[in-house]
A and B are shown apart, each in its own frame.
Chain A
Amino acid sequence: MLKNRIIPILLLKNGRCVKGRQFGNYRDTGAPVTAAKIYDAQRVDELMFLDILASVERRSVLLDIVTETAKECFMPLTVGGGVKTIEDMKILLAAGADKVSINTAAVEDPDFIKEAATYFGSANIVVSIDYKQNNDGSRQVYTHGGTKATGKDPLVWAGEVASLGAGEIVLTSIDREGMMLGYDLEFIKIITSALMIPVIAHGGAGTLADLKQGIVEGGASGVATASIFHFTDQSPIKARWFLKDNGVNVRL
């Protein structure tokens, strides 16, 4: 039976790991390749690198990190940050990424998703959707690292993304990111019920029980987290056993 995944996210800024709150207030949390090796030793299901400042000039830093990681870590890697072209994706995949995540570029040109899926196959295309709750309680998609409102409804956008050929969605609640108060379960449930493709829940997990709820109540195929493993004494190993003991189908 397909296992639910626990996915640590490493946010990168200028070649270092950082962790923040609500897409700001970043603080340094260490060297990315070292962190990746530790997660590999803990046999995590998958690792995600997201470069929050990635731009063309900085691409080589991200590329070096992926290359170095893939030399020694034989685990699934998803990589994102500033990916705008098929060429960008080719380079990351060749360096050792298994899936490439696109975000802003997908919103700016939805056909890019289709183009990428046609070229690489859907299975390797992840679309990250970052959203905030509006004052009236509705939700809105943001791009450019959470700084630019798009006017898009994340539920509608998720459906569009899936029909354009994305193979997976990483759904991030900006409001909850780094707050460690739990996932936006209600909305995760709406998205996972509506879509045929896997959805990874991200933003807000603070306890192992939150991870469980993301899967059991939210219906997520996997749960992504940065804060738990950085700022608490929980490790992916403890997380696995906790989920297993609570009846969640995970890889031991």
Chain B
Amino acid sequence: MKVVVIDYGMGNLHSVSKALETAGAEVLVSNRSGDLEMAEGIVLPGVGSFVQGMKHLVGLDLIDKLYQEVIIKKKPFLGICLGMQLAAKTGEEGGSVNGLGWIDAKVIRFDFQSNEYKVPHMGWDDVKFVGVSPLFAGLDSPATLYFVHSYHFVPADRKIVTGVCDYGDEFVVSVSKDNIHLFQFHPEKSQAKGLKILANFIDMYRNKE
């Protein structure tokens, strides 16, 4: 599967690309609209701020192109961390900011009264799978995966949730809706389990070819 990892200046492209290659994909790091047209799958990685992320996507003139490829043509899409959050309708960072709006969801900050739960939620935590997602085939639930984030994704429709984690309260870490798959954790940093999840993503669509 030919995958384009979107280069929008929001960090860690190298790790994601290498992990996808290791998992069996043919990877191109790009922000050119021609490359997105040719892609069989699109990955939006990213660390950093929601506002900056949207700004960069707008600046690169990628919003309509992504909509075309992911929503209209229904190409397999994987959003990781900030890439997950940007798929939401709104982000609550420095006021309310519009995201790509593909999923009816908002992105809110962890808000704890005591410092028993530190923010950011940083490190390895247990992900409990919800339902049976082919993305988690071959993994036991809970699976310990790597996180680094202060905001989290709250979808309106709980039926799309495929994974949750308990940090103070339960929060959503993985959703799948049609061709759109979103992870709050970093598969590209979660060693063997993460690579397995990426390989599952590739297999899921390779089988349909």
Q: Which residue numbers of A lie inside 8 Å of B, CB to CB?
A: 1-5, 40, 43, 45-46, 67, 70-72, 74-76, 90, 93-99, 118-124, 167-168, 193, 195-198, 221-222, 251
Contacts of B186 in A (CB 8 A): 76, 98
Given contacts A97-B12, A123-B122, A222-B123, 18 further A-B contacts (CB under 8 A): A1-B125, A2-B121, A2-B123, A40-B191, A72-B18, A74-B190, A76-B189, A90-B11, A94-B14, A98-B189, A119-B49, A121-B47, A123-B120, A167-B122, A195-B115, A196-B119, A198-B123, A221-B123
- The stretch from B31-39, B60-68, B144-152, B174-182 touching chain A is B144-152
B92 → chain A closest CB, angstroms: 13
Inter-subunit contact A94/B148 (CB<8 Å):
no
Inter-subunit contact A2/B124 (CB<8 Å):
yes
Listed A/B pairs (21) with beta-carbon separation below 8 Å = A2-B121, A2-B123, A46-B123, A71-B18, A74-B195, A76-B189, A93-B12, A94-B14, A96-B12, A98-B189, A120-B48, A121-B48, A121-B50, A122-B120, A124-B48, A195-B115, A197-B120, A198-B122, A221-B123, A222-B123, A251-B144
Encode B1-37 as 1/0 by CB contact (under 8 A) with A: 0000000010111110011001000000000000000
Q: Which residue in B15, B48, B120, B125 is a CB contact (below 8 Å) of A168? A: B120
Inter-subunit contact B118/A70 (CB<8 Å):
no
**Given contacts A3-B123, A70-B15, A197-B120, A76 and B49 within 8 Å (CB-CB):** no
Inter-subunit contact A94/B150 (CB<8 Å):
no
Bound-state CA distance A118–B18 (Å) is 28
Bound-state CA distance A197–B186 (Å) is 20
Q: Which residue in A1, A46, A96, A197 is a CB contact (below 8 Å) of B15? A: A96
Q: CB of B126 within 8 A of chain A?
A: yes
**Given contacts A1-B166, A74-B22, A43 and B12 within 8 Å (CB-CB):** no
Bound-state CA distance A45–B146 (Å) is 9
Interface secondary structure of B, over-half rule = mixed
Bound-state CA distance A98–B45 (Å) is 12
Q: CB of B194 within 8 A of chain A?
A: yes
The chain A residue sitting closest to B110, CB to CB, is A196
Q: CB of B141 within 8 A of chain A?
A: no
Inter-subunit contact A3/B125 (CB<8 Å):
yes
Q: Which residue in A75, A90, A168, A198 is a CB contact (below 8 Å) of B189? A: A75
Contacts of A96 in B (CB 8 A): 12, 14-15, 18
Bound-state CA distance A40–B128 (Å) is 25
**Given contacts A74-B194, A98-B47, A167 and B150 within 8 Å (CB-CB):** yes
Contacts of A193 in B (CB 8 A): 115
B13 → chain A closest CB, angstroms: 6
Q: CB of B84 within 8 A of chain A?
A: no
Bound-state CA distance A222–B18 (Å) is 27
In order of increasing CB-CB distance, the 5 nearest A-B pairs are: A93-B11, A123-B120, A120-B48, A121-B49, A3-B124
> From residue 183 to 201 of chain B, which have CB atoms closer than 8 A to chain A?
186, 188-191, 194-195
The chain A residue sitting closest to B149, CB to CB, is A123
Contacts of B126 in A (CB 8 A): 1
Q: CB of B82 within 8 A of chain A?
A: yes
Bound-state CA distance A167–B14 (Å) is 22
Inter-subunit contact B11/A94 (CB<8 Å):
yes
Q: CB of B167 within 8 A of chain A?
A: yes
Bound-state CA distance A31–B115 (Å) is 39
The chain A residue sitting closest to B187, CB to CB, is A74
Bound-state CA distance A81–B124 (Å) is 25
